[in-house]
Copies of this chain bind each other. A is one copy, B any other.
Amino acid sequence: MRLAELSQRADVPRSTIKFYIREGLLAPGAVHARNQASYGSQHLERLELIRALREVAGLPLEVVSRVTAELDRGWQGNPIGEALRAMYVPPTHSSSHASKAELERLTAEVKEFLRALPWTTDEDYHDNAREIAATILQVRRYLYPDFAVAQLAKYAEIAWLLSEAEFTGAPEGPGVPIRARGDDIAEPTRRAILGTVLFERIFASLRRCANTMRSMRISLGEKVPPARVTRPGRSRATRRKPKSKRR
């Protein structure tokens, strides 16, 4: 297709497309006679990815550019890692020497905690650890001065349970590319980044709702029903597509 059609189908202005090509986020079209370039479905997909990363995930252009560069490296790259790192930079308000040293120490402790979990791999989780450590410093400062890293155990356990539910329940299966098969990683990357962002919002909303309801019930002396977890392995209901659309 020509530039005009690409622009229309992707709903991205032509000048923006040209800018992406200049900046290396998008491959140039194949040049034919009469100096006309033609674009294929991979251009359309890439533009949709860029739009989603900008609009839904709220990533700045330079980060989107790093993600697409990693995508272009294929299995040698780490586009999801780049995106997640960029999305969740822990705020570093306090920059005194003392608190920097404390953050380093705590980050090392959180790393050790993560490494000891049954489900972690050898993958580097420095960024996660640092982010968690920075937040624990605030928890200690504003809420529980004695909050220990070991108290994360419950959260980690439930995070792994949620992860199991999410992967099992994904309408089209986990959609994880298999390295040995040489699967294409572009579309799984898009889904992983957007799934991370969107379901994080949904889950956070439900958690706030749950905590509000729980404190209402306690405050008013009402019954607090115990949590009940149906393991995704036992019930296959979440695996199926919805029987009917209830819209």
- Residues on A lying within 8 angstroms of B by beta carbon are 52, 55-56, 80-81, 84, 88, 93, 105-106, 109, 114, 118-121, 123, 125, 128, 131-132, 135-136, 138-139, 142-144, 146-167, 169-172, 174, 176-180, 191-192, 194-196, 198-222, 224-233, 238, 241-242, 245-247
CB distance from A63 to the nearest CB of B (A): 16
CB distance from A213 to the nearest CB of B (A): 5
Q: Which residues of B contact A229 (CB under 8 A)?
A: 157-158, 161, 229
User: Most chain-B CB neighbours within 10 Å: which of A123, A156, A213, A241?
Assistant: A213
| Cα separation A149 to B246 with both chains bound (whole Å) | 8
Q: Given the known inter-chain contacts A144-B171, A219-B178, please indicate yes or no for A196 contacting B208, CB distance below 8 A.
A: yes
| Cα separation A89 to B128 with both chains bound (whole Å) | 26
Please pick, from B128, B148, B169, B196, the residue contacting A154 in the complex, using a CB distance under 8 A: B169
| Cα separation A131 to B208 with both chains bound (whole Å) | 11
Please pick, from B128, B163, B228, B246, the residue contacting A148 in the complex, using a CB distance under 8 A: B246
Please pick, from B158, B170, B174, B201, the residue contacting A165 in the complex, using a CB distance under 8 A: B158
Q: Which residues of B contact A148 (CB under 8 A)?
A: 242, 245-246
Q: Which residues of B contact A81 (CB under 8 A)?
A: 212
| Cα separation A170 to B153 with both chains bound (whole Å) | 13
- B123:A174 contact, CB within 8 angstroms: no
- B158:A162 contact, CB within 8 angstroms: yes
Q: Which residues of B contact A232 (CB under 8 A)?
A: 154
- B247:A135 contact, CB within 8 angstroms: no
Q: Which residues of B contact A204 (CB under 8 A)?
A: 88, 200, 204
CB distance from A164 to the nearest CB of B (A): 4
Q: Which residues of B contact A172 (CB under 8 A)?
A: 144
Q: Given the known inter-chain contacts A144-B172, A150-B246, A219-B179, please indicate yes or no for A230 contacting B157, CB distance below 8 A.
A: yes
Q: Which residues of B contact A179 (CB under 8 A)?
A: 219-220
